[in-house]
Structure 1
Amino acid sequence: MRTGTPVWVVQRHADVRQMLADSRLNRAHLYDADAPALTPYPNLMDNPDVLNNTDGVEHQRLRRTVSRAFTPRAIARWRPWVASVVDELIDRLVEGDRPVDLVEGFARALPVAVFSRLMGLDDLDHKRLAYWGDHAFATTAFPSQDVQDALADFVAFGGELLVERRARPGEDLVSSLIQAADQDGEMTEEKIVGLVVLLVIAGHEVTTTVLGNTLVYLLTEGRDTWLELGRDEAKAPAAVDQLLRGIPISDLDVLPGFLRRATEDVEIGGVLIPAGSVVAADTMTASVDPEVYPQDWRDQPFSPPGTMHLAFGAGPHYCLGAWLAKMEMELALHKLPQRLPELRLAVATEDIDWRQGLLTRSPQTLPATW
């Protein structure tokens, strides 16, 4: 790692699946008192109170409080409304000045709108949300004190939100979390706040990254796939899985994979990994493992991968929002090329302004015209 901490990197598909399902390799021990440094300074992912960094019974308890909102059946009920949001955002692009910024005007605007409605945060300042998102995943992008100040402001917002929803509960996800946590009786306020802030950030930031990177590909070398997506909505689900499988979102120089720490000696792929070691599941490499996926994902963009890719992880920490993210992508990547088939980048690919110094890597802006 950039901190000097050595890390074992697991890349074969079968080994990554084994690793992510093995309880001897967990998240919580990454933050023990004797744990080595993972990032130059702490960010939101280093908070031991968030869902990502718990394991076992505690993780199951936290996950249960939110899982009902993210089942395939629950997400399907949202589809007509999400489709209307996509159409509205495209209307705004068409009515605005060109070139448009596909990040601010679409890739970020879509998941922010969806998650704001899900959590009852329609009035939240989107610039403030983007500020928290940038700082939550920062590794070197900002001075350490700026990151800590932003996270403190974010956590304070989460605490205020809990007070407000306890006083005036609604039909939103935050109110449901509070109710489930109070019924459980074993979740501290810090855990509930950690859960809320993680959902607010992860619910829009990761989808923003995925959409931004995918649009770069589709508007350049993936042009044929772009046009076909606009013609046939039925091809979108398979295409989204292939795009998720093939297009990375992490900055591998900063984060070589989903991190775990060995609580005892563990053998993976015939290699003995000593207790206390940090291990990274390189899901992007695993998702193009030629032993599992003999064809290049770009050569078969509308065929289901066969074996499920690992872009959303696997095991107990499999991404809760996977179904929601896929639905947003399916609708976005059909409707945008359907209505704007001639959409093209307004800058050369080498001139794209990329976000750097974060756990994820995606365009800062993406000027486009037609």
Structure 2
Amino acid sequence: MTGTRSTPSSPTPPMPPMPPMHRTPLRALGPPRRERLPTGVPVWVVTRYADVRRVLTDHRIGRASMFAPGAPPVATAPGFLDDPASLLNLDGEEHRRLRQTVQRAFTPRAVARWRPWVASVVEDLLDELERQGPPADLIAGFVEPLPSTVICRLMALEGHDTAAMSRWSSVALSRGAYTPEEVQEALAEFGSFMAGLLAARRADPGDDLVSGLVAAADEESGTGSAAGGIDESRLVSLARVLVVAGMETTQVALGNSILYLLDEAPEAWRRLSEAGTEDEAGAAPLVEQLLRLIPRVDVSAGDGILRQATADIEIGGVAVAAGDVLAVDILAAGRDPEVFAPDLCAGTDRLFSPLPAQSLAFGAGPHHCLGAWLARMTMELALHRLAHRMPGLRLTGPMDAIEWRRGMRTRSPLRLEVAW
């Protein structure tokens, strides 16, 4: 991005400390109730597990209509999540056709084949951390480069400006941290880069995710050109989604999870560190519990995950009219006592217990996160091997001294100073 933000003429006051994400206040559970988005648009807030799952899986509830011409604004600032051409905002057959161009690459079986080299990335980063020695910033040295390296290798982006892609991803998910002009500029640069990348892989394909995306799209078109089937702008948007989700989802979840374990669950960290080097599968239930307990999205803005009813329906005993917007609260649903027993005050065993119901951390239904299995596997490897290599890992300062990424749709530590 070529522009820079202006520097204030006078010193800005220090920002007040923020609570960690695992201490996010919960909304009260109950039937859908009326609230308003920051834009003033009325919404039904949905909190109970069964109701949230129903909203996410019902084909009469989607996203595309929220971004149709003339639709009331649901976001206070422009951003990556509001692109009508994005996979995130398509429904029905259009969504299915675009999603299937890349879906096969993210099945559990496909992801399992990547496990050895993802593990090698984890080990390389830990080797470098140990070489430099404590104290260290775990975000810069481990949490941030891990998912970035993984997605860049999958998409064969080595040699490209990955720092620019990381910056574009952050700007794309901002919520007030950048001006609308800066957001639009970043998205345009990101789109131009991806359009060039798609063209290059179409001309000279390789064994990577982008080449597979182009080939699948061209096969769908039946003409050898994406223009005959799936619109090229949608392929560009999908490629951007893969980068942003690949970098952002795991980084945010991993940073917040490590902070929770070191701050609130040291016994769980000890148990994880004592697991054998081959017992990586033992971290899987812990990862599921952490994804359920700790939100990635900063709910302080009050919007949540949005959907819109396209027909009159009933949710949790409440009549929802066609055109009504719904905001589902994944965090509240994940703490629903009708499904999950109380958690944060429970013992270590609870954190290593399988979930009694399907997690909604990555959504459900047609818009279930494509990269969910990759994110899970990366977190399992990262937490297991970090704890095994550094069983004495600890924070070097108090919780209220932690710096946070602010003005973003997601929230996680900006820095995490640790020693071992």
- The question of a shared fold, defined as TM-score above 0.5 by the shorter chain, is answered with yes
Question: CA 1:356/1:7 → structure 2, altered by over 3 Å: closer, same or farther?
Answer: farther
- Structure 1 equivalent of residue 414 of structure 2: 364
Q: Indicate yes or no: 2:302 matched with 1:266.
A: no
Note the 1:152-167 alignment, pairs <5 A: 152-167=188-203
1:79, CA displacement in angstroms? 0.7
Q: Name the counterpart of 2:246.
A: 203
Cα deviation code 1:232-274 (max 9, x no counterpart)? 2342011111111101111112354221011122210011122
Change (3 A) 1:298 1:80: farther
- The code of the aligned residue for 1:325 comes to A
Per-residue CA deviation, residues 102-143 of structure 1 (Å, 9 max, x unaligned), is: 112111111111111111112233321221111111111111
* Paired position in structure 2 for 1:311: 361
Aligned residue identity for 2:147: P
Does the 8 A contact of 2:48 with 2:332 survive in 1? yes
- Separation of aligned partners in 2, 1:148 and 1:367: 33
Q: C-alpha separation between the residues in 1 aligned to 2:355 and 2:374?
A: 19
**Partner Cα separation in structure 2 for residue 13 and residue 49 of structure 1:** 30
Q: What is the distance in 2 between the residues matched to 1:256 and 1:297? A: 25
The one-letter code sitting in structure 2 at the alignment partner of 1:210 is A
Amino acid in the other structure paired with 1:214:
S
Please name the residue that 2:371 is paired with: 321
User: 2:392 pairs with 314, 323, 342, which one?
Assistant: 342
Larger mean Cα displacement after TM superposition, 275-284 or 49-58: 275-284
Moved more, 167-176 or 259-268: 259-268
Structure 1: give runs of 5+ residues left out of the alignment. none
The answer to whether the aligner puts 1:287 opposite 2:334 as a matched pair is: yes
Shift of 1:30: 1.1
**1:226 and 2:269 matched:** yes
Deviation at 1:6, TM superposition (A): 2.0
2:152 partner letter: S
CA contact under 8 A between 2:43 and 2:325: conserved in structure 1?
Answer: yes
Counterpart code for 1:23 = H
Cα distance in structure 2, aligned partners of 1:40 and 1:294: 36
Name whichever of 230-239 and 71-80 sits farther off.
230-239
Letter in 1 for 2:291: L
Identity of aligned pairs, percent?
49
The aligned residue for residue 244 of structure 1 is 291
What amino acid is the match of 1:341?
Answer: P
Q: Tell me the amino acid that sits aligned with residue 304 of structure 1.
A: P
1:98 aligned partner: 134
Distance 1:344 1:281, change over 3 A: same
TM-score (norm. length: structure 2) = 0.86
What TM-score do you get using the length of structure 1 for normalisation?
0.97
Contact 2:85-2:234 at 8 Å conserved across structures: yes
Q: Secondary structure at the match of 1:219?
A: helix
- Distance, in Å, in 2 between the alignment partners of 1:111 and 1:255 is 28
For residue 253 of structure 1, give the secondary structure of its aligned residue in structure 2: helix
Structure 2 residue aligned with 1:47: 83
* Structure 2 stretches lacking a partner, 5+ long: 1-36, 222-228
What displacement does 1:97 show?
5.1
| Correspondent of 1:126 among 156, 162, 177 | 162
3-state DSSP of counterpart to 2:301: coil
Offset at 1:57?
Answer: 0.5
Is 1:141 the counterpart of 2:161? The answer is: no
2:188 aligned partner, one-letter code: A
Q: Contact 1:39–1:139 at 8 Å: present in 2 too? A: no
- Aligned AA (1:54): L
Q: Hey, what's the Cα distance between the residues in 2 that align with 1:328 and 1:132? A: 22
**Residue range with higher mean Cα deviation, 259-268 or 325-334:** 259-268
Q: CA deviation at 1:149?
A: 0.7
Q: Do the aligned partners of 1:255 and 1:359 also contact (CA within 8 Å) in 2?
A: no
For 1:311 and 1:42, the matched residues in 2 are separated by 25
How many angstroms apart in 2 are the aligned matches of 1:78 and 1:325? Answer: 12
